[in-house]
Amino acid sequence: MKIKLAEEKDFSIVKSITQDTIKSVYPKYYPKGAVQFFSDHHSDENIRRDIEAQRVWLLVTDDDVPAGTVTLADNEIDRLFVLPSFQHKGYGKALLDFAEEEIYKNYDKIVIHASLPAKKIYLLRGFHDVEYNIIDTGHGDYLCFDKMERDFI
């Protein structure tokens, strides 16, 4: 596998990984309105902006198949998604290892806003809760998530 900086030509791949993962995984954890809010938050505009700012990375398998993506903004890990068909194969761990390594080059603390499906993974990696958040989605539901941090060790 390799992790490469996403380019403008990778936009549709990054969008597909993000939206497909949200639509297949998040309904198991969140009500419909929260899933829609989350999907809207990861809009075309936001993904394009991050690609242009060179903050988006793409993981491709040894067979050159795009399987995951992560966005890094300063010391924050954002938009870390692995397609469901590639989950539980070490790709998420590889993306998280990569993201932590990149952030620790310039910062001594990592910040992440953890969704319910991913929180256990972050706890096992040494992240701790610093803030609990509830967002009224405007769709009649609420989106709950935790701000988590991990100090350089």
Give the tens place of pLDDT for each residue, 73-83.
Answer: 999 999 999 99
Residue 112 C-alpha from the chain's centroid: 9
Domain 2-108, CATH number (from 3.90.1150.10, 3.40.50.2300, 2.40.40.20, 3.40.630.30): 3.40.630.30
* pLDDT tens-digit readout, 117-141: 899 999 999 999 999 999 999 888 9
125 in Cβ contact with 96 (< 8 Å): yes
Helices (H), 105-147: 119-124
User: Which token pair is 4?
Assistant: 């490469």
The DSSP secondary-structure symbol of 118 reads T
What integer pLDDT is reported at residue 77 of this predicted model?
97
* pLDDT tens-digit readout, 11-55: 999 999 999 999 999 999 999 999 999 999 999 999 999 999 999
Angle subtended at Cα 117 by Cα 126 and Cα 73, rounded to the nearest 5 degrees: 65
Domain ranges of the chain: 2-108
The answer on pLDDT for 153 being more than 80 is no
